[in-house]
Structure 1
């Protein structure tokens, strides 16, 4: 009898409750309250109860006359949209519940880390799943997203219509926006654990919805937008492997959907703009995460136009004179466009860094070298940037915090563009990478190249330090995590240059090192991978300091350096939790990555560039004569003009020469021979 009963199909629910009926959701049918309504914490009522209420003269809420004012009509639309969203959420919760039940029955291995990071939503009881906040809170967090995340770095949405259309967007986008924006809602979640739980909960719900969409269809533009947001969240949480999967999936879907081509069908301007923004956001995401990709096999000129950009806010200074010679034949494509262009150069630079300075048969000063090609590409790009988006016309010294905050949609991309420019040159001329790449050319290094790289590293590290000080002085909240990476790159350079017997230089460089570390720590309050990066900088400083013990009067002082500590900082895509692969892959796929095996080197100095000696006994670089006081570099995209109040106070006239003298001095270069390596543990 039991077997016969077991073989019968489940009894169909004759009647759905009123909330499920309105939302056209599959009602479980439990009475007096169905499980779906219980999970969504909404009132459950069946038609029989409705009739009883009417018989007793009680008019239920849903039978009240519908107001006809525009405000109430908008409210009704939002209510219906929320109802549909809740119904979809119910389906996801059911699926998660089934997966959780299967997971509980399956054998577990406690030694394998949780592949979802903080906590797996599928393993939580229904009461702990993160519900959608009230619509008022959703809009509040969405406003924070626009303020602190839009174009910082991804220009994903059409800002002017984003809030008004949020109620009509697919729920996976809403949850992904919450996952990014809620970290800026300090008044709502002051407890760090509660905030992390909320972020993780929103992320997992968005992931479940978007994967269901991809598997069942139809894939929409919102699907790609959600994948971009999830990739950014995963990257900043240290799950770089899963982040790469999401962004690569978005890129593949964009290619299959011909998102790179302008559609021939008639579209509303906002819809067309969001298509463009989505495509370029995917490109920007891949490049900033250090992935260089091809042109998708598309013919030249087939890419969509760059996203629209806000104009630079008007300067208070009425006497600002624009340089007409730099505006000739230059079409202003917007600040966001120039960030996207520069990201291509950064992706090539990141690839250069991943080579770890392995020497080749082509010296870096050759026009055929990777170093020279990247420098040439950056200079070519600089010729295409209109003067209006350069440093001098920005008049940053005159901008108040209120002005900066009110126009973050421009200043966010502007600061990213500035810092990205300097970071590329810092990486290309990093003392560690140069010393490694020049191993095969120690007796033939041109003096010009030594002076060139010395002056570049001095100038561009100082610029990034200057921006860090500017943010502190203005109390401007930096929300773009990439700026933290830039500060970390400078910190490794300042740390390397601090190992000198010159007390003044040593103290200055250490002060700049800790200034950068403090900046990264500040961003770590918002982005977990920045907190880990700051910790790595501290551990690097401890290890290098412990190894630097020069003997009194020694001619060749050297450092014993674990190079892997540098690579995990300099490679942005690796600035994450080392367990990222372990979280992502199971036993059949996971293997230890050999990328950062202990690589230890004992080092000695490269040749110094020849400098003139002043009467004070300090060598002066010829470049310092052009640094701040002549008209020669004034047209440079990122050069401080003479007399400006933003002139870095620590940039002395002879700083270029001081750093040049010590650039390759005792203890500055880290490698004597590529064969002189030994494997040791941590310091």
Structure 2
């Protein structure tokens, strides 16, 4: 940017303050030194008193004390100052032995000049509240970057680029983000300064742990601002630096507990960042690094009404508890593999999804393995959400934030694997050989896990719990696409229910979009998808226009969370010599029709099979019915590439019998 001028020259230093006032000295705060009242005490409305004032000459009208009265307090004060000086020397020596020397935050921060305005670190009393917001709403939601206990106490010793990055992210949760007209420019300015400083440090050194922490935050900021390509560059750079520095191994030298914990948290945050943004990253990708221990997790908050463990929890306490953050990291591996599965756009394979060798089955098996590793303590039932008040949830966000993320990822994985659109495209080579049990399996999973996410959305809204993790918004968007597709049915009851659930999901995404720009764009994409699909729908199949198409790219831009195909992101980053433009839509059109509903036993008809789709009964939720035209079928599919459009006539057509007409339905499922 030619109009940007970076000025890192230090400003003329102020005259060193020889003595701090008593309130600042007691608080270990940096005293400006103005007399008779320093500016910090004036802002805080507290009495400002300097030690020298006790030794100033008294006026002639005042009674003069004798020498013994003056000598005693003076001697005590000198001895106290001498002890404080020795104590500081001892603490400095101990700190040098425990952990590497950290560069203190500069007194005069770097400044970024942008079109006549400058961005610099605000006063310290403004930085601390924003850092507290970051700790409350961003830490472990989703990235567990920092050790909570020492975060605020050592904040002033952290590098300037990290402070700017924390400001850029934490400001989104301040009150100013709604009332300040220059809020967006201020956040962008903080992020640009942080990026300039961290890149300068990478090129010139020394690279510190704070460098990697800053890259993680900048990657998250860029991703949520729609700069997905630059976000990927930042996270990949952080991972490469972590590999070069052997961050995946525990340090051999003796270090403090806080420093060791932040190394672990930084390593796993980089892994989590790569996975959540759609990259199938495995710890095995790092040679000779099994990975450090998982970050320390907060304990599950005790129940207010009955704080003791239940009989079931006590019976299963033999399983080692690695902490809720550890299970989020574990499940993120399944999330990343599912994201890769989605990017295939249902590309056909010679292996059907019900085969143990299929990617569908492998991901499903991996999720079940991860589930067996999580103790019962962190599951849904023992959480007793109905007994938790908003104050309880808010006071323990460090636990409930990762807990909700774990729940949403778990159900989202299963919704994506069994997404009607993806299944229809992946089954195109198998036409009339789909097993009935597979239809039942996918129908039950879609019914159950979309309802779970709707249940959590309702709960969070009822509790007025501020959702600060954008991944939860993506989960709601996935469910919204399913509910929209299932809403086009002749059954008025089902249609109304699906429309209501779709609207609820969109509203949830919009609320999160108030602080995360990419969620606001996602909500807009959902509304565009609804308009596009609704415009092509005709309730009468005979009247359906055979030339109308449904653009599948509108589905992919929602289902692909990483959205690295975003042309705007690529255009902003690459020049003309690299940018090749967006790919053109294919000319092939997929001709589809809905899958028939799985056969169920009707309660009214006893053992007589009935072609009716009913969801698996769940004690926690009411059952729901799915119409026969709820799933898209591979019948007459003529797709030779990824498929950019579907004939609306086939997309909305009634279910067709493509299974063999001579099948004995009484024998199916009775092995």
Please report the TM-score for the alignment, with normalisation by the length of structure 2: 0.79
Mapped contact 2:104–2:159 kept (Cα < 8 A):
no
Q: 2:335 & 2:180 partners in 1: Cα distance?
A: 33
| 1:206 lines up with 2:197 in the alignment | no
Shift of 1:87: 3.8
| 1:579 lines up with 2:568 in the alignment | yes
Partner of 1:674: 638
Q: 2:646 & 2:364 partners in 1: Cα distance?
A: 37
**Aligned with 1:159 (options 142, 145, 148):** 148
Partner of 1:283: 271
After the TM superposition, which of the residue ranges 213-222 and 572-581 deviates more from structure 2? 572-581
Shift of 1:190: 2.6
Distance 1:345 1:450, change over 3 A: same
Shift of 1:349: 0.4
Please report the TM-score for the alignment, with normalisation by the length of structure 1: 0.77
Partner of 2:626: 659
Partner of 1:11: none
| 1:65 lines up with 2:19 in the alignment | yes
Q: Which structure features the higher share of helix residues?
A: 1
**Aligned with 1:541 (options 527, 530, 535):** 530
Partner of 1:551: 540
Partner of 2:596: 607
Q: Aligned-pair RMSD on alpha carbons?
A: 3.1
Partner of 2:212: 224
Distance 1:77 1:312, change over 3 A: farther
Mapped contact 1:568–1:575 kept (Cα < 8 A):
no
Partner of 1:397: 386
Q: How many residues align?
A: 568
Q: Mapping of 1:195-594 within 5 angstroms? A: 195-295=183-283, 297-298=285-286, 302-318=290-306, 321-323=310-312, 327=316, 329-551=318-540, 560-574=549-563, 578-594=567-583
Q: 1:193 & 1:86 partners in 2: Cα distance?
A: 28
Mapped contact 1:559–1:603 kept (Cα < 8 A):
no
Mapped contact 2:351–2:358 kept (Cα < 8 A):
yes
Q: Mapping of 1:81-92 within 5 angstroms? A: 85-87=106-108, 89=110
1:411-454 CA-to-partner distances (Å, cap 9, x unmatched) read 00000000100000000000000000011112110011000000
Shift of 1:72: 4.8
Shift of 1:529: 0.5
Q: Mapping of 1:145-184 within 5 angstroms? A: 145-184=134-173
**1:266 match: secondary structure:** coil
Shift of 1:64: 4.7
Q: 2:305 & 2:179 partners in 1: Cα distance?
A: 44
Structure 1 gaps, min length 5? 1-24, 28-35, 38-43, 46-60, 98-120, 629-646
Shift of 1:263: 1.1
Distance 1:63 1:431, change over 3 A: closer
1:541-599 CA-to-partner distances (Å, cap 9, x unmatched) read 00001111143668999983211000000000018954000011111111124287687
Q: Mapping of 1:23-172 within 5 angstroms? A: 36=11, 62=16, 64-67=18-21, 71-72=25-26, 74-76=28-30, 85-87=106-108, 89=110, 93=112, 121=114, 124-125=115-116, 128-172=117-161
Q: 2:178 & 2:285 partners in 1: Cα distance?
A: 48
Q: 1:615 & 1:430 partners in 2: Cα distance?
A: 30
Q: 1:439 & 1:464 partners in 2: Cα distance?
A: 29
Shift of 1:618: 7.9
Q: 1:77 & 1:83 partners in 2: Cα distance?
A: 17
1:453-497 CA-to-partner distances (Å, cap 9, x unmatched) read 000000000000011110110000000000000000000000000
Q: 2:341 & 2:414 partners in 1: Cα distance?
A: 12
Distance 1:332 1:434, change over 3 A: same
Partner of 2:53: none
Mapped contact 1:461–1:490 kept (Cα < 8 A):
yes
Q: 1:350 & 1:671 partners in 2: Cα distance?
A: 26
1:503-558 CA-to-partner distances (Å, cap 9, x unmatched) read 10001001000100000000111011001000000000000011111436689999
Q: 2:331 & 2:547 partners in 1: Cα distance?
A: 37
Partner of 1:624: 616
Mapped contact 2:105–2:158 kept (Cα < 8 A):
no
Q: 2:397 & 2:588 partners in 1: Cα distance?
A: 42
Mapped contact 2:588–2:640 kept (Cα < 8 A):
no
Partner of 1:49: none
Mapped contact 2:592–2:646 kept (Cα < 8 A):
no
Mapped contact 2:412–2:449 kept (Cα < 8 A):
yes
Mapped contact 1:602–1:672 kept (Cα < 8 A):
yes
Q: 1:246 & 1:317 partners in 2: Cα distance?
A: 46
After the TM superposition, which of the residue ranges 69-78 and 391-400 deviates more from structure 2? 69-78
**2:550 match: secondary structure:** strand
Which one has the largest radius of gyration?
Answer: 2
Distance 1:62 1:622, change over 3 A: closer
1:348-371 CA-to-partner distances (Å, cap 9, x unmatched) read 000000000011000000000000
Q: 2:378 & 2:436 partners in 1: Cα distance?
A: 34
**1:479 match: secondary structure:** coil
Q: 1:446 & 1:334 partners in 2: Cα distance?
A: 40
**1:323 match: secondary structure:** helix
Q: 2:178 & 2:545 partners in 1: Cα distance?
A: 53
Distance 1:676 1:541, change over 3 A: farther
Mapped contact 1:559–1:602 kept (Cα < 8 A):
no
Distance 1:307 1:82, change over 3 A: closer
Q: 1:672 & 1:78 partners in 2: Cα distance?
A: 78
Q: 1:501 & 1:26 partners in 2: Cα distance?
A: 70
Distance 1:386 1:565, change over 3 A: same
